[in-house]
A = this chain, B = another copy of it.
Amino acid sequence: MSSFYPSWEPEAPTVKTEIPGPKAKEAIADLDKVFDTRSLNMLTDYQKSSGNYIADPDGNVLLDVYAQIASIPVGYNNPSLIKAAQSDDMINAIINRPALGNFPPKDWADVLRTGILKVAPKGLDQVFTAMAGSDANETAYKAAFMWRRQKERGGPGVEFTEEEMESAMNNQAPGASQQLSIMSFRTAFHGRLFGSLSTTRSKPIHKLDIPAFDWPQATFPTLKYPLEEHAEENRKAEQDALAEVEHLILNYHIPPCAVIVEPIQSEGGDNHASAEFFRGLRALTKKHGVLMIVDEVQTGVGATGKFWAHEHWDLPTPPDMVTFSKKAQTAGYYFGNPELRPNKPYRQFNTWMGDPARALLFRAIIQEIEKLDLVSHTARVGDYLYGKIEALAKKYPGEFQNLRGKGMGTFIAFDSPRRDEFLKKAKSLGVNIGGSGQSAVRLRPMLIFEEKHADTLVDVMEKIVTSWK
């Protein structure tokens, strides 16, 4: 029973067959004829999924702490979201999809203010809406290039030259800014389209064969755990990383006009850095007139125990742009500086520019988060879960390495010496968990994850490692 809605979800997982079971196997073989299924994790019965539990066609019902790669915020078949989906406004938004830049709905300002902008990070009061994380980041990059070139040109009123216009049409400088770049960090993940993939540095399989821009990457500090035992080393790793950032800003042959960073490198292995590191990065970007883009695609919307993970940093000035997607169920980037609006219309534009239906859903999600107080709930449950895993790590040395995410809500991870086996075994014991990077087990519960779910999860984790003894 869920504490939020009685009889919403089962009391415990049910595992009836191996996963995939016979029904799923048959359906997968059929699906594979028309759709690539090699990345398929679990064929899902979304009708039978509820709350924290994901179901499959064979009657298996698993506690889901992967949550569609961290993108289900308030549970499967959430009653409040059902109501929102049945509303006239939603039906209207589904069937009359606007070209938002040209023909916005008459109440678009209201939808933004009571939804997407209600949770805007401090200091950022405007939004450009997009479709998913990749284009959210790429449109932020475009804004950064336009902003910097405008400064170099001498302001918004300075017209483009004939040479710029002609060379842009030929993909050449000076019109196409081949002399500027976006800096990212090693092991970062920012998306898979051509610009975003150029800043993604997670794994070769994501990048192989795809042309990329010659943009710089700085080293993300590799912290040693437990943090309290390696304070000095970690501080040095962070200082070295910041020194490299500054060196690249000053010396890279295609200097960056922006740096993009995740609060926690989420695909690259759940790599954390201290608030001090991020304050240092903000100081460096300010000092050198480089924009700071915070990619909150995976960390945003409550899972770290703050609505935005970068609230943990206590920055003296806000980031220049913050991108979002996943749990927001829509995407885009926030900004505050009016200079980040391009100097002319149609420079940043596309037909749909997001999806009002998804913006309405995000509004309903925000209302649900507020009604159930899910951000502080997640902070509390996260502390509880962290404590239990910490105890487990002490009990089974070596099996739960580099436990991280203390004080970061349920955004917790550890390294497993046999990670892929760990994930597979978890499924057979009733829990759906994801991995990241080379060896991390990443926990991405929904915001309705409770202490009792943490107990179930930790029990299963203990069963996994004892099954290996």
Contact = CB atoms under 8 A, between A and B. Distances in A.
Interface residues of A, number: 127
B91 A85 contact: yes
A446 to B, nearest CB: 12
Contacts of A285: none
Interface in A28-58: 30-31, 33-47, 49, 54, 56-57
A346 interface: yes
A90 B142 CA distance: 34
Nearest to A30: B109
A214 B167 CA distance: 11
A252 interface: no
Contacts of A109: 27, 30-31, 33-35
Interface stretch (A126-134, A232-240, A287-295, A383-391): A126-134
A74 to B, nearest CB: 9
A277 interface: no
Given A42-B102, A210-B145, A47 B351 contact: no
Contact of A105 (B44, B98, B344, B348): B44
A99 B71 contact: yes
A38 B345 contact: yes
Contacts of A164: 204, 208
Contacts of A44: 98, 103-106
B210 A194 contact: no
A202 B139 CA distance: 19
B194 A198 contact: yes
Contacts of A355: 355
A170 B172 CA distance: 22
Interface stretch (A174-182, A218-226, A308-316, A409-417): A174-182
Nearest to A329: B97
A33 B338 CA distance: 10
A241 to B, nearest CB: 17
Interface stretch (A7-15, A75-83, A397-405, A447-455): A75-83
A346 B39 contact: yes
A70 to B, nearest CB: 8
A438 to B, nearest CB: 13
A217 B97 CA distance: 33
A380 interface: no
A351 B133 contact: yes
Contacts of A101: 36, 39-40
Nearest to A181: B211
A104 B35 contact: yes
Contacts of A35: 104, 108-109, 112, 126-127, 129
A207 interface: yes
Given A96-B46, A208-B347, A210-B176, A41 B131 contact: no
A227 interface: no
Nearest to A23: B106
A194 to B, nearest CB: 3
Nearest to A95: B81
A262 B455 CA distance: 56
A193 interface: yes
Contacts of A181: 211
Nearest to A129: B35
A43 B127 contact: no
A265 B303 CA distance: 45
A96 B113 CA distance: 24
A348 B209 CA distance: 11
Contacts of A169: 201, 204, 207
Given A42-B103, A135-B135, A192-B350, 15 more contacts: A31-B104, A31-B109, A37-B104, A38-B345, A40-B101, A40-B102, A54-B103, A77-B95, A78-B95, A94-B94, A95-B361, A132-B352, A146-B210, A169-B207, A171-B198
28 contacts: A30-B109, A31-B112, A34-B127, A35-B129, A36-B345, A46-B105, A68-B97, A68-B98, A68-B351, A81-B94, A82-B95, A85-B94, A97-B329, A132-B352, A133-B350, A135-B193, A142-B210, A145-B209, A149-B208, A164-B208, A168-B204, A169-B207, A171-B213, A177-B211, A194-B198, A194-B213, A205-B346, A325-B351
Sort A-B residue pairs by CB-CB distance and give the 10 closest, nearest first.
Answer: A194-B195, A38-B345, A171-B212, A165-B204, A41-B102, A31-B109, A131-B131, A81-B95, A176-B212, A149-B209
